[in-house]
Homo-oligomer: A and B are copies of this chain.
Amino acid sequence: MRRISVFVLFLVITHGGIRAQDRDSALIARLATEILVNGKAYENLRDLTKKIGARLSGSPQMALSEKWGVGVFTSSGADKVWMQECMVPHWVRGGKDMATAYNDKTGKDGKPLAILALGNSIGTGAGGIEAEVLEVTNFDALESKKDQVKGKIVFFSYRFKTSFANPSDAYRDAVVYRASGASRAAKYGAKAVIVRSMTHAPDNLPHTGALRYDTAYPRIPAVAIGLQDADWMSNQLKTAAMRVKLRTGGHFLPDTTGHNVIGELTGSEFPDHFITVGGHLDSWDPAVGAHDDGAGIVQTIEILRALKAIGYKPRNTIRFVLFANEENGLRGGEKYAAEAKRKFEKHLFALESDAGGFTPRGFSLDVSDLQFEKVQPWRKLFQPYGGDTFTRGGSGADVDPLKEAFAIPAAGLYPDPQRYFDVHHAASDVFEAVNKRELEMGAVNMAILIYLVDKYGL
């Protein structure tokens, strides 16, 4: 009898499991079809990038994009839409950045350089800075030449290494020069720094991004330079001393009011249990931020629209969040977590899309061993849609404070990384660089994960 019972139990479980998988597959297919046939993500991205454009924290476009977010959430069928106020830093570029390189001996034949001041950097003052250039390929070279640094413009020519199969690893490897180069050089008396852009793009566009000043040293101006001009300068410096005249106008205005824009689908069983999905609404100022992170924004909105359109009633409340100020402050992500904590909310899971609107490969899961085990059988549900590569790793900057505050599992969409650093923080991050299908497939895979977590927990 015992044997038979176990066998019967086995049949029931297996059969039940198969039927559940079939039902999941069917719902997922409806969700995918809704996004791939009736999707609004691409047209929403066109509006956000072309009608509003670049939207750095504190800019008029920041406010416009917040209003736009409220409107699109509403028309997409959110049960509830609101703005969550948070103070944001207000850095402005303060005019056009300019740099010209001269042969130090002749002083003639000035060549304009393709540069952009780094975000959060201070300006040179109206008169600009002119100084001899000292090239260092890395921090070791800086240390060994520290006696030569005083009064110079230090040129960090550290290369973004194409030998990494995953360009994100090249970025992680090189970005310290953008983040810390200025203070490292200021320590030895440099007047400014020029940093080779964090990219492997075959063009000459400079790529900006945030720096962090070390308060122990003077703040000095810092710019990124395009790869072709960086190579040109390295070449020139092999045979001749160079001077660069630099003028940048970056400065901070007082903090100003920004907002997280939040849309909600209210849970039918557990309205006070929250699942969060989002991206960031702000972008750097020289770019319209189509991949970074317009893609994450319109995917977030699209998941809400599609779930609503197919009539899905989530068990838990799903919060769709357009975070403020990821690029130079992270105040939106921090505010969202702080408010959740203050209200003693119950959070279950958070998902972020902030690695570009490229074809989805899977997810980076910031979860426990047990949770990682639990999601493995889900992979076959993702397989037809391409997002079945599950790796352990970080989730995303904006959901990180929430994850930390509540010790909840979190995930980041992992799109294919090969093209991201072609456009990241550069003027080339435009609508035309985003492919409609790739963008939509990202939304499809995110929607599947949200559905599965809502249904089965994690």
Q: How many copies does the complex hold?
A: 2
A438 to B435 Cα, complex, angstroms = 15
Q: Which residues of B contact A202 (CB under 8 A)?
A: 42, 436
Instruction: Report whether A165 and B419 are in contact in the complex, using a CB–CB cutoff of 8 Å.
Output: no
- Is A329 in the interface zone, CB < 8 Å from B? no
Binds B, one of A31-39, A49-57, A125-133: A31-39
Interface residue count for A (Cβ, 8 Å)?
29
Instruction: Report whether A165 and B36 are in contact in the complex, using a CB–CB cutoff of 8 Å.
Output: yes
Residue of B nearest to A444 (CB): B165
Within the complex, what minimum Cβ distance (angstroms) separates A393 from chain B? 14
Instruction: Report whether A385 and B165 are in contact in the complex, using a CB–CB cutoff of 8 Å.
Output: yes
Instruction: Report whether B418 and A165 are in contact in the complex, using a CB–CB cutoff of 8 Å.
Output: no
Given A36-B162, A36-B163, A163-B37, answer yes or no on A416-B419 (Cβ-Cβ < 8 Å): no
A33 to B438 Cα, complex, angstroms = 27
- Is A150 in the interface zone, CB < 8 Å from B? no
Residue of B nearest to A164 (CB): B36
Contact with B along A434-458 (1 / 0, CB 8 A): 0111100100100000000000000
- Is A361 in the interface zone, CB < 8 Å from B? yes
A206 to B384 Cα, complex, angstroms = 29
Residue of B nearest to A166 (CB): B384
8 Å CB contact of A32 from B165, B200, B436, B441: B165
- Is A302 in the interface zone, CB < 8 Å from B? no
- Is A121 in the interface zone, CB < 8 Å from B? no
A384 to B162 Cα, complex, angstroms = 14
- Is A422 in the interface zone, CB < 8 Å from B? yes
A250 to B33 Cα, complex, angstroms = 39
Instruction: Report whether A167 and B437 are in contact in the complex, using a CB–CB cutoff of 8 Å.
Output: yes
Instruction: Report whether A435 and B422 are in contact in the complex, using a CB–CB cutoff of 8 Å.
Output: yes
Instruction: Report whether B441 and A162 are in contact in the complex, using a CB–CB cutoff of 8 Å.
Output: no
8 Å CB contact of A418 from B167, B200, B438: B438
Instruction: Report whether A359 and B36 are in contact in the complex, using a CB–CB cutoff of 8 Å.
Output: no
Instruction: Report whether B386 and A162 are in contact in the complex, using a CB–CB cutoff of 8 Å.
Output: no
Within the complex, what minimum Cβ distance (angstroms) separates A417 from chain B? 9
A347-395, CB < 8 A from B? 358-359, 361, 384-386
A202 to B435 Cα, complex, angstroms = 10
Residue of B nearest to A46 (CB): B202
Contact with B along A406-446 (1 / 0, CB 8 A): 00000000001011001000000000000111100100100
Instruction: Report whether A200 and B416 are in contact in the complex, using a CB–CB cutoff of 8 Å.
Output: no
Residue of B nearest to A202 (CB): B436
Q: Which residues of B contact A167 (CB under 8 A)?
A: 437
Given A162-B37, A163-B37, A165-B441, answer yes or no on A435-B419 (Cβ-Cβ < 8 Å): yes
Within the complex, what minimum Cβ distance (angstroms) separates A234 from chain B? 17
A377 to B359 Cα, complex, angstroms = 26
Cβ contacts A to B, 15 pairs, < 8 Å:
A36-B163, A36-B164, A36-B165, A165-B384, A165-B385, A165-B386, A166-B384, A167-B437, A200-B436, A200-B437, A386-B416, A418-B437, A418-B441, A419-B437, A419-B438
Extra contacts besides A36-B164, A202-B436, A418-B441 (7): CB < 8 Å? A32-B163, A36-B162, A165-B386, A358-B359, A359-B416, A361-B386, A419-B435
Q: Which 5 A-B pairs have the closest CB atoms?
A: A418-B437, A359-B416, A33-B163, A36-B162, A418-B438
Q: Which residues of A pack against B, CB within 8 Å?
A: 32-33, 36-37, 42, 162-167, 200, 202, 358-359, 361, 384-386, 416, 418-419, 422, 435-438, 441, 444
